Protein backbone atom coordinates (compact mmCIF):
# COMPACT_ATOMS: atom_id res chain seq x y z
CA UNK A 1 0.00 0.00 0.00
CA UNK A 2 1.29 3.47 -0.82
CA UNK A 3 1.11 6.54 1.37
CA UNK A 4 0.55 8.96 -1.50
CA UNK A 5 -2.92 10.27 -2.12
CA UNK A 6 -4.17 10.42 -5.68
CA UNK A 7 -5.22 13.98 -6.33
CA UNK A 8 -7.11 15.12 -9.37
CA UNK A 9 -6.38 18.33 -11.17
CA UNK A 10 -3.33 20.56 -11.34
CA UNK A 11 -0.91 21.10 -8.49
CA UNK A 12 -1.76 23.83 -6.01
CA UNK A 13 0.16 27.02 -5.44
CA UNK A 14 2.12 25.67 -2.49
CA UNK A 15 3.01 22.43 -4.32
CA UNK A 16 4.40 24.01 -7.50
CA UNK A 17 7.44 26.28 -7.15
CA UNK A 18 6.81 28.31 -10.32
CA UNK A 19 3.20 29.04 -9.32
CA UNK A 20 4.34 30.07 -5.86
CA UNK A 21 6.97 32.46 -7.20
CA UNK A 22 4.60 34.02 -9.74
CA UNK A 23 1.91 34.52 -7.06
CA UNK A 24 4.40 36.17 -4.71
CA UNK A 25 5.69 38.39 -7.52
CA UNK A 26 2.10 39.41 -8.24
CA UNK A 27 1.63 40.40 -4.61
CA UNK A 28 4.92 42.27 -4.64
CA UNK A 29 3.75 44.26 -7.66
CA UNK A 30 6.23 43.13 -10.28
CA UNK A 31 5.09 44.22 -13.73
CA UNK A 32 3.72 41.40 -15.86
CA UNK A 33 2.45 39.29 -12.95
CA UNK A 34 -1.19 39.23 -11.90
CA UNK A 35 -2.29 39.58 -8.30
CA UNK A 36 -3.59 36.21 -7.08
CA UNK A 37 -7.13 35.65 -5.88
CA UNK A 38 -8.19 36.18 -2.28
CA UNK A 39 -8.34 32.41 -1.72
CA UNK A 40 -4.73 31.95 -2.80
CA UNK A 41 -3.61 34.95 -0.71
CA UNK A 42 -5.24 33.34 2.35
CA UNK A 43 -3.41 30.07 1.61
CA UNK A 44 -0.12 31.95 1.34
CA UNK A 45 -0.85 33.71 4.63
CA UNK A 46 -1.50 30.37 6.36
CA UNK A 47 1.82 29.07 5.00
CA UNK A 48 3.67 32.15 6.31
CA UNK A 49 4.66 33.77 3.01
CA UNK A 50 2.50 36.90 3.41
CA UNK A 51 0.74 38.88 6.12
CA UNK A 52 -2.76 40.27 5.68
CA UNK A 53 -3.74 43.46 7.49
CA UNK A 54 -7.27 44.83 7.20
CA UNK A 55 -7.30 48.09 5.29
CA UNK A 56 -9.25 51.22 6.04
CA UNK A 57 -12.95 51.13 5.24
CA UNK A 58 -14.06 53.70 2.72
CA UNK A 59 -17.67 53.58 3.91
CA UNK A 60 -19.05 51.69 0.94
CA UNK A 61 -20.68 48.31 0.94
CA UNK A 62 -18.78 45.08 0.57
CA UNK A 63 -15.68 43.50 2.02
CA UNK A 64 -13.02 45.99 3.17
CA UNK A 65 -9.80 45.89 1.21
CA UNK A 66 -6.93 43.90 2.69
CA UNK A 67 -3.34 45.07 2.62
CA UNK A 68 -1.10 42.14 1.76
CA UNK A 69 2.65 42.31 2.44
CA UNK A 70 5.39 39.76 1.96
CA UNK A 71 7.09 38.35 5.04
CA UNK A 72 10.87 37.81 5.09
CA UNK A 73 10.20 34.20 4.08
CA UNK A 74 8.19 35.40 1.04
CA UNK A 75 10.91 37.88 0.06
CA UNK A 76 13.51 35.10 0.26
CA UNK A 77 11.50 32.86 -2.08
CA UNK A 78 11.14 35.65 -4.65
CA UNK A 79 14.74 36.84 -4.39
CA UNK A 80 16.33 33.42 -4.72
CA UNK A 81 14.05 32.17 -7.52
CA UNK A 82 15.55 31.88 -10.96
Residue at 60 is within a domain? no
What pLDDT does residue 3 have? Answer: 64
pLDDT at residue 73 above 90? Answer: yes
Top-confidence residue, 55 or 20: 20
What pLDDT does residue 2 have? Answer: 56
Task: Compute the distance between CA of residue 64 and CA of residue 79 in angstroms, rounded to an integer.
Answer: 30
Nearest by Cα to 43 from 24, 67, 65, 57: 24
Domain count, the chain: 1
Residue at 40 is within a domain? yes
Residue at 2 is within a domain? no
Query: 3-state DSSP call for residue 68?
Result: strand
| Mean pLDDT of the chain, nearest integer | 87
The count of C-alpha atoms lying within 13 angstroms of the C-alpha of 69, restricted to the half-sphere facing its C-beta, is 6
pTM score: 0.80
Residue at 9 is within a domain? no
pLDDT band at 54 (very low <50, low <70, confident <90, very high): confident
Residue at 30 is within a domain? yes
Q: State the residue range of the domain holding 28.
A: 17-55+65-79
The count of C-alpha atoms lying within 13 angstroms of the C-alpha of 65, restricted to the half-sphere facing its C-beta, is 8
Amino acid sequence: MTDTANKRGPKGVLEDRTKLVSALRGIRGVEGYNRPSRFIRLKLADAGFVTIVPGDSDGTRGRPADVVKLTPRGHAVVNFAR
